[in-house]
Amino acid sequence: MQLRLHRSFRLPDPLKLARYAKAPELGPKVLFFSGGTALRETCPELIRYTHNSIHLITPFDSGGSSAVLRRAFAMPAVGDIRNRLMALADQSLQGHPEILSLFAHRFPAAANAHLQWELEALAEGRAELIERVPHPMRRIVQRHLKVFLSWMPEGFDLRGASVGNLVLAAGYLENDRQIDPIIYLYSKLAEVRGTVRPAANADLHLAVALRDGRSIGGQDRITGKEHPPLDSPVERIYLTDDLESLSEAETQAPESVLRLIDSADIICYPMGSFFSSLMANLLPRGIPAAIQRAECPKVFVPSTYPDPEVYGLSLEDQVGFLLRLLRRESGGEGSPRSFLDAVIVDRSARSAEDRESLRRFLDRLGIDLLATELLTPATHPRIDPQRLVSLLLSCT
């Protein structure tokens, strides 16, 4: 049942949090749509309370070493998936820090004639980094590195490559281009405390149409990190299979992803890159309808730090964009409340006048505004993980 957050929940709820902390293996299914880095600091706090969180990750990254893998093998991006798996891994003595170190290792970014030799040494078990991994995990990792070497085309650029990405790519290729089996395997090996899945299993890219009439293709050209930031507001985001023509393409979300949405105890549209992380995950067909069906609270936590992707867009504009994208499968039908219950903002990040204007905007849509304290002096301008996790878990 959809609930009015400010009337139905104690925020935060210390009794509920204490119960979850006592038995995190029984904790709630908090579902996030995100990229790989925005929740990196939040995940260690999250796994203190629940081992059942769900992370639907964008597979459309087109920059860095992920781009090299995608060009070579026509595959989804795996870098953000690896990031989230490692962020959710058990960091205690009962976990497997050797696997985390191996997966996080990157080859030098500078040109180096010995990079293939280094990869072969890892595959053959001759490098210190692999020698520290206990059996039987070591044999499993070595086998996947050997699989990658068998698929690796001549001249493949290993500069800056992540070992974890190479292992995931090998598992994807070995399992008939299915990513779930290799994610499941390494989730078990690294004691990952949650479920991580790509929103789609598709070799597609992001594209945006800007207000000034231009279109831009490629996640790396949208984020404002590897290329100059956007200088015109985004009017539309879509998927493409051709970065030259930028013709529109579609993909269907896997049934396993839709079932995860159906099972959620709360859905969070979290802070991070608004278009390339959050909106990107809502593009596969079936996801908006699954969100609409889900009988749980749904909250939007906008970024509290500058996001180059939302150039020229107010928070009200972002909420409107989110709702339009979510309502597209129903032809614009459906109550906004069926997709979004509340927007959660930091009280200090907006003036009282701005908060009141936002409240009036949301009231017209039937959506709540929760203005609370998300920032601390130690984390400013970013949201404090403990405060965010406490708030979300209290809403379940």
326-370 pLDDT per residue, tens:
999 877 778 999 999 999 999 887 888 899 999 999 999 999 999
Weakest-pLDDT range from 84-93, 206-215, 288-297, 354-363? 84-93
Give the pLDDT confidence score for residue 113 in this predicted structure: 76
Dig out the tokens for 98 from the structure: 């050797």
pLDDT tops 80 at residue 308: yes
Give the pLDDT confidence score for residue 1 in this predicted structure: 31
pLDDT tops 60 at residue 11: yes
Q: How confident is the model at residue 94 (pLDDT cuts 50, 70, 90)?
A: low
Q: Model-level pTM?
A: 0.95
CB 268 within 8 A of CB 299: yes
Backbone angles phi, psi at 389, to 5 degrees: -65, -45
Q: In 275-300, which positions are buried (b, 16+ CB within 10 angstroms) versus exposed (e)?
A: bbbbbbbbbbebbbbbbbebebbbbb
CATH 3.40.50.10680 domain locations along the chain: 5-58+201-394
Average pLDDT over residues 286-298: 97
CB 348 within 8 A of CB 373: yes
CB 300 within 8 A of CB 322: yes
Measured CA angle at 150 (ends 147, 152), to 5 deg:
105
Class for the domain spanning 5-58+201-394: alpha beta
Give the pLDDT confidence score for residue 70 in this predicted structure: 96
β-strand partners of 38: none
219-270 pLDDT per residue, tens:
999 998 888 999 999 999 999 999 999 999 999 999 999 999 999 999 999 9
pLDDT tops 80 at residue 92: no
Give the pLDDT confidence score for residue 55 in this predicted structure: 98
Q: How confident is the model at residue 314 (pLDDT cuts 50, 70, 90)?
A: very high
Average pLDDT over residues 99-118: 88
156-193 pLDDT per residue, tens:
999 999 999 999 999 999 999 999 999 999 999 889 99
Give the pLDDT confidence score for residue 326 in this predicted structure: 96
Give the pLDDT confidence score for residue 330 in this predicted structure: 78
- Cα-based distances in Å from 132 to 99, 128, 319, 337, 343: 9, 6, 48, 51, 46
d(CA 231, CA 312): 8
Give the pLDDT confidence score for residue 7 in this predicted structure: 43
Give the pLDDT confidence score for residue 6 in this predicted structure: 44
